């Protein structure tokens, strides 16, 4: 045996018990992997609940995260570290194995989310106040870039826009929307110290959220100020903005919007995208080859999240008030609602296990997370969590746009 191989052999704790004279040497406990871990946001307490998705149990809590009323989370590539974007403008790096805060910076006055770069070295936060995007070293949270969201208003004045819809793209790029300016911008951080900005102007009124399709090709922004969406094909040599589903509510009475849909939860299942219609009791079905509407599914209320199982066979929908205690399941081949569930008051979020055998559902006002079997719809577990909202599993670390 080569010396290098012998050293590797001797360093393995399990191998020590096999060596002569080592029978009394105690082996170290095997460290838990991170692949079946996740975090549940405790909305009112500034805490995170660490969960095991295989055993369906709570492992502990991490405290001291401030205002988590609109918190979102992304993961490092190893799944061991998470980055929490708080509504109070804080960016917090958390170690899941150690169940503690590693680093925390107050980077803005009001923040609603962020993203991590393709290679995992950069973390970007999108900000409402003062606006713009701030980029940090993912290990240290040292500042790397401060990207302005300045635009020229109708009266000719210079203003800073609120930033929404931030997502990662291949090539160390981030894409995002300027809510107040009606723009989409791409920041290329191949050279982190000198971001290169590409602007797409006049995309429509008030883009409020957006997504990147799972293959990284299309970026789609929802518009609050009008019925329709703005889409960019990022594979084109010279990308341009294209309007899709323009005027989908044309001729219909506008309804009050009780809660904005979260477009990062849009479902892309097979060839079709399943999208929430703003202010309507409908899910729109869109052909991703032509980006034309092919169907609408009537649902119980105003959709907030429309999420596909990993295999795309079912789409799960939750709703704004007054129907926020309900979840409905749509069978994608027949486009029919096949199940209605009531897991608890104020359903805020759903998250599928990596291969989709179960879905975790947070019910804020019922103070619980319910784990449901996606085949039988039976309740597999109920976990007591104080005012739970967002649920984020480490399997997100391997997926673009999350």
| 162, 169, 187, 273, 343 from 166: Cα distances, Å | 11, 10, 10, 20, 31
Quickly count: other Cβ atoms within 10 Å of residue 338's Cβ: 11
Quickly count: other Cβ atoms within 10 Å of residue 255's Cβ: 13
- Are 36 and 50 in contact by the 8 Å Cβ rule? The answer is no
CA distance 8 to 10: 6
Residue of 164, 172, 165, 73 whose CA lies nearest to 122: 172
pLDDT value of residue 112: 87
pLDDT value of residue 13: 37
pLDDT value of residue 264: 67
pLDDT value of residue 24: 31
pLDDT value of residue 3: 41
- Output the pTM of the full model: 0.89
Counted residue by residue, the chain has a size of 402
DSSP 83-125: EEE-TTSEEEEEETTTTEEEEEEE--SEEEEEEE-TTSSEEEE
CA 275: distance to chain centroid? 16
pLDDT value of residue 171: 92
Residue of 217, 171, 178 whose CA lies nearest to 199: 178
3-class SS shares of the chain: helix, strand, coil, % to 5: 5, 45, 50
Residue of 210, 186, 212 whose CA lies nearest to 198: 186
- pLDDT digit of tens for each residue in the chain (402 aa)? 444 443 333 333 333 333 333 333 334 444 678 999 999 999 999 999 999 999 999 999 999 999 998 899 999 999 999 999 999 999 999 999 999 999 999 999 988 899 999 999 999 999 999 999 999 999 999 999 999 999 999 899 999 999 999 999 999 999 999 999 999 999 999 999 899 999 999 999 999 889 898 888 999 998 888 888 999 999 999 999 999 988 765 545 555 565 666 666 667 888 899 988 887 899 999 999 999 999 999 999 999 999 999 999 999 999 999 999 999 999 999 999 999 999 999 999 999 999 999 999 999 999 999 999 999 999 999 999 999 999 999 999 998 887
CA dihedral of residues 284, 286, 292, 298 (deg, nearest 10): -20
């Amino acid at each position: 045996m080569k010396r290098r191989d012998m050293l590797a052999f001797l360093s393995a704790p399990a191998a020590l018990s096999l060596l002569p004279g080592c029978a009394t040497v105690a082996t170290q406990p095997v460290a838990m992997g991170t692949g079946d871990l996740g975090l549940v946001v405790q909305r009112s307490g500034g805490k995170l609940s660490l969960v095991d998705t295989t055993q369906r149990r709570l492992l502990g809590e991490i405290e001291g995260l401030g205002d988590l009323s609109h918190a979102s989370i992304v993961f490092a590539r190893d799944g061991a570290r998470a980055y929490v974007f708080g509504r109070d403008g804080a960016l917090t790096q958390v170690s899941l194995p150690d169940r503690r805060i590693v680093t925390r910076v107050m980077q803005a006055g009001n923040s609603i989310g962020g993203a991590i770069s393709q290679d995992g070295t950069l973390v970007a936060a999108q900000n409402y106040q003062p606006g713009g995007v701030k980029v940090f070293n993912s290990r240290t949270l040292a500042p790397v870039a401060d990207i302005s969201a300045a635009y020229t208003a109708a009266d000719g004045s210079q203003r800073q826009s609120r930033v929404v819809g931030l997502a990662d793209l291949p090539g160390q790029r981030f894409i995002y929307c300027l809510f107040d300016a009606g723009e989409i911008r791409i920041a290329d951080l191949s050279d982190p110290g000198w971001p290169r900005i590409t602007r797409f102007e006049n995309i429509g009124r008030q883009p409020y959220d957006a997504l990147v399709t799972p293959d990284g090709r299309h970026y789609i922004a929802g518009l609050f100020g009008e019925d329709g969406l703005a889409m960019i094909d990022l594979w084109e040599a010279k990308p341009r903005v294209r309007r899709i589903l323009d005027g989908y509510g044309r001729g219909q009475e506008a309804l009050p919007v009780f809660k904005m849909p979260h477009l990062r939860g849009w479902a892309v299942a097979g060839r079709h995208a399943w999208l929430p219609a703003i202010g309507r009791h409908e899910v729109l079905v869109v052909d991703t080859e032509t980006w034309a509407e092919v169907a609408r599914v009537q649902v119980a209320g105003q959709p907030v999240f429309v999420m596909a199982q990993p295999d795309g066979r079912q789409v799960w929908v939750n709703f704004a008030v007054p129907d926020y205690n309900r979840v409905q399941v749509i069978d994608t081949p027949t486009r029919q609602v096949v199940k209605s569930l009531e897991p608890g008051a104020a359903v805020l979020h759903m998250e599928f296990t990596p291969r989709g055998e179960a879905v975790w559902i947070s019910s804020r006002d019922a103070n619980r997370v319910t784990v449901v079997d996606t085949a039988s719809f039976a309740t597999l577990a109920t976990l007591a969590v104080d005012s739970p909202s967002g649920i984020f599993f480490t399997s997100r670390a391997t997926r673009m746009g999350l």
